[in-house]
Amino acid sequence: MALSSSLLPPLSNNNATSPANRKLFCGGDRGRIYATLTVQPPTEPSKASSLPIKKIPGDYGLPIVGPINDRHDYFYNQGREEFFKSRVQKYKSTVFRVNMPPGPLISSDPNVVVLLDGKSFPTLFDTSKVEKKDVFTGTYTPSLELTGGYRVLSYLDPSEPSHEKLKQLMFKLVSTTRHRVLPEFETSYSNLFDELENELATHGKAKFNEANDQAAFDFLARAWYGVNPEDSELGRTAPSIISKWVLFQLGPILTLGLPKPIEELTLHSFRLPFSLIKKDYKKLYNFFYQNSTDLLEEASKLGISRDEACHNLIFTTCFNSFGGMKIFFPNMIKQIGRAGVNLHRRLAEEIRSAVRSNGGKLTMSAMEQMPLMKSVVYESLRIEPPVPLQFGRAKKDLLIESHDAAYEVKEGEMLFGFQPFATKDPRIFDRAEEFVADRFVGEEGEEKLKHVLWSNGPETQSPTVHNKQCAGKDFVVLISRLLVVQLFLRYDSFGIDVGVSPLGAKITFTSLKRATF
């Protein structure tokens, strides 16, 4: 179903049919994928706060020296979590000033106002207060050569004309291919589990991350573009090409564990030249251009050139979606694995019972009958959101409230939020630092979903062409549920070893106990 304006009913002043209450259906039964089209309410001036107004603590230090010192603390001396935690303790505030990497020589202005609690953090979602133009990666923007010379959707503010057209195209991508999601996920991840079992039988352990990368891209190619990448020029090379391409974009804010002098010179002070991966990126481009005929035609109707549309499809598929699966799936396996066999047993019983009661088939309605499984996915997204860093630039003078105080921010200042602190806010969640599998079960649990913010917006809201919430929000939740379901349809329990990688957990399976009931 195309999400073009011609399909929308006429606007009405009646609240029951107002744009805020209309949803375009993109899924089956209660497991729906929605693309909600709303009209932004008029912007209201910032209201006075009943909380005490305090000066934002912290400072940026001397030019060049201050940003470099903060960069060294962030990457080497303290590490990311301690970097923020130590400053919360120092300033006795969840709102403060600091420099965010990369700083010199890549970023000309690394100064940010940090928002670390669940009350102040959602300011970053309010596009009446913050501008989202060119802030996707923070205080710097990667070379446009990496995206064909175009500012792709993630870097556009909703006020820019191309934003609405490109987001409509992404809604189209998700909605028209929904019928392939369940079968293609089962195919791709059955192959993954077969591979892991063979590796376990041979070596006594099996590495998940690389196998997951391959399964993730195979699934996305099959589900969204109707093609098996192994039958193309890409073969099985896509995951490695994408990883290199992402590194060229995110290198300035990553640490690879290399010696400090090498990382400082190669990643944190200079951009890696696109020429090193130009040929590989061309392979990706050719694959997507050849297999996106209908979407490229739709883009032309929306007024987007085929070339621009293709680069946006690459970014959405490879950076946003594949990247999310690459980071989040291992992190979720880590949380479930560490929770132990009792949770594994409960999940297996719930999942298999729901499938049996639906004629032995896995359907969207069957998954709606798995409250524990759904809660496990939401809790994983809460405790380790796949996109932890969010930015926005103040459109006007603002008064931002934390739980205890209000702070004045000037127009043009960069706001930054480290999401895991906001979603583990002890003023909002009990046992906030713990993985609580059934946290979101029942009415009281579902009420807390408004504080799950992984998608650049609350879980209780939907993406629209007027906001920056992830266009594939419901798709990501669905495939995350599918991973848990496929895992426990096949296995009673599993054992893992957990390491670290630049983008999250590194998972090695030490056992996979086949289903016995």
Residues making up the annotated binding site are: 470
| Cis bond before residue 102 (omega within 30° of 0) | yes
In the annotated binding site for heme, the residues are: 470
Coil, strand, or helix at residue 511? strand
Coil, strand, or helix at residue 28? strand
Distances (CA, A) of 244 to 142, 323, 343: 14, 12, 37
Q: How far is residue 33's CA from residue 459's CA, in Å, rounded to a whole number?
A: 13
Q: Could you tell me if residue 89 is left (phi over 0), alpha (psi between -120 and 50 degrees) or otherwise beta?
A: alpha
Q: How far is residue 405's CA from residue 417's CA, in Å, rounded to a whole number?
A: 17
Q: How far is residue 383's CA from residue 376's CA, in Å, rounded to a whole number?
A: 11
Kindly tell me the number of DSSP H helices and DSSP E strands found in the chain.
17, 13
Q: How far is residue 240's CA from residue 314's CA, in Å, rounded to a whole number?
A: 15
Q: What is the CA radius of gyration of the chain?
A: 23
| Cis bond before residue 399 (omega within 30° of 0) | no
Contacts of 33 (CB under 8 A, 6+ apart): 26, 27, 174, 175, 178, 474, 475, 478
Q: How far is residue 123's CA from residue 127's CA, in Å, rounded to a whole number?
A: 9
Query: Across the chain, which distance is largest between two alpha carbons, in Å?
Result: 67
| Beta-carbon count within 10 A of 158 CB | 17
Closest CA to 129 of 144, 146, 115: 115
Contacts of 467 (CB under 8 A, 6+ apart): 125, 127, 158, 457, 461
Contact, 386 vs 93, CB < 8 A? Answer: no
Q: How would you class 136 by CB atoms within 10 Å of its CB: exposed for 0-12, middle for 13-18, buried for 19 or more?
A: buried
**Across-strand partners of 398?**
409
